[in-house]
Amino acid sequence: MRRVEPNTMPLYVTKKTHKRTSLAPHGKRILMPVTTVAVRAGYARNDHEFEIKYYDPKVIGNGTFGVVYIATLYETGDKIAIKKVEIDKRFKNRELQLMKRLEHPNIVRLLYHYESVDDHKNEYLNLMLEFLPKTFHQLLRSYKQVDACLPSIYVKLYMFQLLRALNYIHMHKIVHRDVKPQNLLVNHELALLKICDFGSAKELQEGDSNITYICSRYYRAPELLFNSTEYGTTIDLWSASTVMAEIYLKSPIFSADNAIDQIVQIIKVLGAPTRKDIESMNPKYAGVPISDVPGIGLAKLLKGHASSHALEVLGSLLKYNPNERAHPLEILSMQFFDDLRKPETTLPDGAPLPPIFEWYQREVELSYTVKLQASIFPTRRTPAGRSSNSESSKSDSNLSKSSW
């Protein structure tokens, strides 16, 4: 690849590739090419360009979005993920700008970013992200392969972190639009979960028309299946609840080959939507004749798999009417998560739980009432919150409890 000088075309780089053996600063001898690129930081308040080095890139995923590599930072030896996406000027790519605004322990961290050009003059956006070893999909599959269930404490921890992350995203009026096990990264040893892949995400603007063919079908909210273009952040909550149900069932709760059959699968479980439900999903279908078809119900479907407290969570989110789905923080206050609030609770190997109650000040102040605050946090601690260096802190002063 031809070198492009930073002073003529900032960020369009693949500056050097060293092929000789070298001793990296972290003490490991490198016997492979080392690539130097000019990058900009993901969260820094300045936009200065600087160089970093990485080596040993390997493809770990690809699709219509582009390619994902795993690589190693030369200076530290830390693993990183590099998401390389071709820039198509016909379409908006919001991912970089949204990720630069989102700094949260349960959202995969954008470390650096840069642009590159190949020999055919195709342009690419490269996002250098923190690396977690598995997707939630891979974790669930590993348990399924040995006919085992994910231990209850992990179900609670992972769902807590997912809902907390969604609350933070929704505070910024951003909707992810593709919540599914493949887009959740985990470090199972530490019981950490982070949302990734904001390629479909969007900041909602009043009056905007949104595309309906979004989100993987099995996890798609019913208002999307009813072709609503005025949906809100609650489509993510439906998706999160289907992820939770999949933990217990070891397969997607609703699965079909097309949108119509997907609706049928939902009706088989929840029963037919009422006229009010249909109007809330898409008023254009308000006059469609409906039959009072009963569903099997969540309790019967999940009998022997999920506790009554888990069913309470699922029942609060798996609702046709988007306005009736519980707020994520209301869910976090439910009894299902009470074990996480007990000081004696540990991971199965005796290790302490991850620090899931160390919340940013913005989360504490702007999201919920004092009553909910008392229900979410352990009684032994006061959630004073902690500061964040995110550039989004400037805009957070405009948020209020009305963002519920």
What would the pLDDT profile of 312-334 be if each residue is shown by its tens digit? Answer: 999 999 999 999 999 999 999 99
pLDDT (tens digit, 9 = 90+) per residue, 8-21?
A: 333 334 445 555 45
pLDDT at 395 over 50: no
For residue 44, the model assigns a pLDDT of 66
Name the pLDDT band for 403 (thresholds 50, 70, 90): very low
| 39 close to 20: Cβ distance less than 8 angstroms | no
pLDDT band at 53 (very low <50, low <70, confident <90, very high): very high
Comparing 2-16, 181-195, 227-241, 322-336, the range with the smallest average pLDDT is 2-16
pLDDT of the residue at 63:
75
Residue 289 — pLDDT band, cuts 50, 70, 90? confident
> 40-44, 206-210, 212-216: which has the highest mean pLDDT?
212-216
Please tell me whether 84 is known to bind a ligand. yes
What pLDDT was estimated at residue 390? 45
For residues 396 and 83, which has the higher predicted lDDT (pLDDT)? 83
Average confidence (pLDDT) over 171-176: 96
- What residues are annotated to the active site? 178
Q: Is the pLDDT of residue 71 over 90?
A: yes
What does the pLDDT read at residue 260?
Answer: 94
Instruction: State residue 291's pLDDT score.
Output: 81
Is the pLDDT higher at 59 or at 43? 59
Of all residues in the chain, what percent carry a pLDDT higher than 70?
A: 84
Burial 185-201 (b: 16+ CB within 10 A, else e): bbebeebbbbbbbbbbb
Structure confidence by residue, pLDDT tens digits, 92-136: 779 999 999 999 999 999 999 999 999 889 999 999 999 999 999
Asked if 314 and 334 touch (Cβ cutoff 8 Å), the reply is: no
What is the residue type of 365? Answer: E
Give the confidence band of 25 by pLDDT, cuts at 50, 70, 90.
Answer: low
Q: Is the pLDDT of residue 367 over 80?
A: no
| Architecture of the domain delimited by 36-130 | 2-Layer Sandwich (3.30)
pLDDT at 281 over 90: yes
Mean confidence (pLDDT) of the chain: 87
- For residue 370, pLDDT beyond 60: yes
Q: Which two tokens stand for residue 210?
A: 């949104």
Q: Is the dihedral of CA 362, 367, 373, 377 positive or negative?
A: negative
Could you tell me how far CA 233 lies from the centroid of its own chain? 13
- Considering the entire predicted model, what is its pTM? 0.87
Backbone angles phi, psi at 347, to 5 degrees: -70, 165
- Residues 195-208: tens digit of each pLDDT: 999 999 999 998 88
- pLDDT interval class at 79 (50, 70, 90): very high
CA dist 165 → 25, 193, 194, 310, 363 (Å): 35, 9, 8, 19, 10
Task: Give domain 134-370's CATH architecture.
Answer: Orthogonal Bundle (1.10)
The pLDDT of residue 66 is: 87
Domain boundaries, the chain: 36-130, 134-370
Q: What does the pLDDT read at residue 10?
A: 34
What is the pLDDT, as a whole number, of residue 209? 84
| pLDDT (0 to 100) of residue 288 | 80
Domains 36-130 and 134-370 share a fold: no
pLDDT tens, residue by residue, 298-313:
999 999 999 999 999 9
Quick one: pLDDT at residue 23? 58
Q: How confident is the model at residue 363 (pLDDT cuts 50, 70, 90)?
A: confident
User: How many CA atoms lie less than 13 Å away from 144 in the CB half-sphere?
Assistant: 13
